[in-house]
Amino acid sequence: MTQVLLTGAAGFIGFHVANHLLGLGHQVVGVDNLNDAYDVRLKLWRLDQLNKRDGFIYFRSDISDLVSISKVWKETNFDAVINLAARAGVRQSVKDPWVYFETNVTGMLNLLSLCVKNGVEKFVQASTSSLYGAHTPRPFKEDADISRPLSPYAASKGASEMICHSFHHMHGMDVSLLRYFTVFGPAGRPDMSIFRFIQWVAEDLPVIIYGDGEQERDFTFVEDIARGTVSALRSVGYEVINLGGDRPVKLMEVLRKIEALLGKSAKIEWHDSAPADVRATWADITKAGSILGWEPQVSLDQGLEACVEWYQKERAWANQVDTSDD
Ligand SMILES: NC(=O)c1ccc[n+]([C@@H]2O[C@H](COP(=O)([O-])OP(=O)(O)OC[C@H]3O[C@@H](n4cnc5c(N)ncnc54)[C@H](O)[C@@H]3O)[C@@H](O)[C@H]2O)c1
């Protein structure tokens, strides 16, 4: 049994990673500052589920505040850190880049320095497919040039990867850097397309599409991501690993599948494409297979069914969740 410090535990991926760890019999020390980057009701719902489970304890703490996060280290011990706490929206990062750097760079640096101080050697860090920008040939391989990010969000994640490497080199930290590709699943993020499409179609609200809807994403089911993240707790030295579905799909195709599952038609409202968004993604997952023995197991159709089922079960409050861009 391992005791893991999991930051961003009330977040979308954090919630599923916590469940996966607990299911394997590990202890989870969850940290989250419950910020209002998106509707907090979703974070509170996830936290409520986790608080009912044995082996989970929660600290409300901000990783970018060294005093606050140091207190968590004084009160508990861990064998490893999984850092999923982040500001994660691509388009929102253009409006306020500073908060992205506070959490994604300073916050992560605080955690790494506390690892060194307290002798915790294993660090799993969430990174992103957004780093591959517009210039990388597909499928994206981990050794591609990532020096031309399109958004402040991607830039902050690039900086965090480099800091991780310096801590590996200087302090012998064992770091698994996981570049996730468009993650979707139950209790997902309301600033991402799949949660929005389901709510908007189910509630007869206008479905906003940025650009022509032909943009492609390598959608990856959240339970596959959780399994890959937990398997990355093994010792690797320093490795950057893509975790992606390996099946790029056009956004319009996803919308059509959701319409079919709900038995309703979307009222589409076309908006200009967002310059911070990349046109298409696709993960080369050879490395995930060879290092982690990982490959995705859940198809897009199975995953979408699980999302719709979750929404219908939680509809009484999920239909109120704020999915606007403000
Ligand atoms: N969802 C995706 O498709 C995707 C893709 C690539 C990478 N990622 C990365 O995966 C990680 C998890 O993403 P997610 O989709 O679950 O996002 P999320 O926003 O749902 O989860 C992040 C959580 O971190 C918390 N948090 C943010 N700043 C914090 C701080 N300073 N201190 C403590 N807690 C803080 C938030 O309250 C939130 O609950 C992030 O690092 C994100 O960049 C996600």
Q: Which tens digit of pLDDT belongs to each residue from 303-320?
A: 999 999 999 999 999 999
pLDDT of residue 145: 96
Scanning the structure block, which residue is given the tokens 């969000």? Answer: 153
Helix residue ranges per DSSP H, 232-276: 251-262
Query: Quick one: 204 exposed, middle or buried, by C-beta within 10 A (0-12, 13-18, 19+)?
Result: exposed
Mean predicted lDDT score pLDDT of the chain? 96
Residue nearest to atom 13 of ligand 1 (CA): 13
Query: What average pLDDT score do residues 284-294 get?
Result: 98
ω into residue 139 within 30 of 0, thus cis? yes
Tens-place pLDDT, residues 141-181: 999 999 999 999 999 999 999 999 999 999 999 999 999 99
Asked, for residue 107, whether it belongs to a domain, the answer is yes
State which residues form the domain around 64.
3-184+219-244+281-297
> Quick one: pLDDT at residue 274?
83
Assess whether 210 carries a catalytic annotation: no
Helix (H) or strand (E) holding 27: strand 27-32
Is 249 domain-assigned? no
**Confidence bin at 277 (pLDDT 50/70/90):** confident
| pLDDT attached to residue 263 | 98
Catalytic residue among 38, 58, 153, 311, which? Answer: 153
In a domain, 45, yes or no: yes
Total domains in the fold of the chain: 1
pLDDT for residue 80: 98
Does the predicted TM-score (pTM) go above 0.85? yes
In the numeric block, which tokens belong to residue 108? 């992560």
CA distance 130 to 90: 8
Examine residue 103 and state whether it is found in any structural domain, yes or no: yes
Q: Is the pLDDT of residue 24 over 90?
A: yes
| 305 inside domain | no
Best of 6, 12, 225, 307 to mutate for ligand 1, by most ligand atoms within 8 A of CB?
12
> Given a cut of 90, is residue 257 above it in pLDDT?
yes
**Is position 173 within any domain?**
yes
Kindly tell me if the per-residue pLDDT of 1 is higher than 90: no
Spatial separation of the C-alpha atoms in residues 179 and 173, rounded to whole Å: 18
Of 100, 209, 206, give the one whose Cα is nearest residue 158: 100
**Which value, to the nearest 10 degrees, does the dihedral of the CA atoms of residues 108, 111, 115, 117 take?**
120
Residue 210 covered by a domain: no
In 78-134, where do the E strands start and end? 80-83, 122-128
State the average pLDDT over residues 30-54. 97
Higher pLDDT, 40 or 275: 40
Q: What is the per-residue pLDDT across 93-140, written as a single tens digit (0 to 9) for each?
A: 999 999 999 999 999 999 999 999 999 999 999 999 999 999 899 999
Contact status, residue 249 vs residue 107, Cβ threshold 8 Å: no
Q: What is the mean pLDDT of residues 59-72?
A: 98
Query: pLDDT per residue over 50-59, tens digit each?
Result: 999 999 999 9
Minimal-distance CA residue to ligand 1 atom 30 = 62
Mean pLDDT of 246-267: 97
Q: What are the pLDDT digits (tens) for 79-93?
A: 999 999 999 988 899
182-229 pLDDT per residue, tens: 999 999 999 999 999 999 999 999 999 999 999 999 999 999 999 999
pLDDT confidence of residue 210 = 92
Q: 178: helix, coil or strand?
A: strand
Cα 263 to ligand 1 centre (Å): 32
3 state SS of 219? coil
| Token pair recorded at residue 224 | 């596959």
Q: List all residues whose CB is within 6 A of at least one atom of ligand 1.
A: 7-8, 10-14, 31-35, 37, 43, 62-64, 84-88, 103, 107, 126, 128, 180, 182-183, 189
Residue 223 covered by a domain: yes
107: domain CATH number is 3.40.50.720
12 CA distance to ligand 1 centroid (A)? Answer: 7
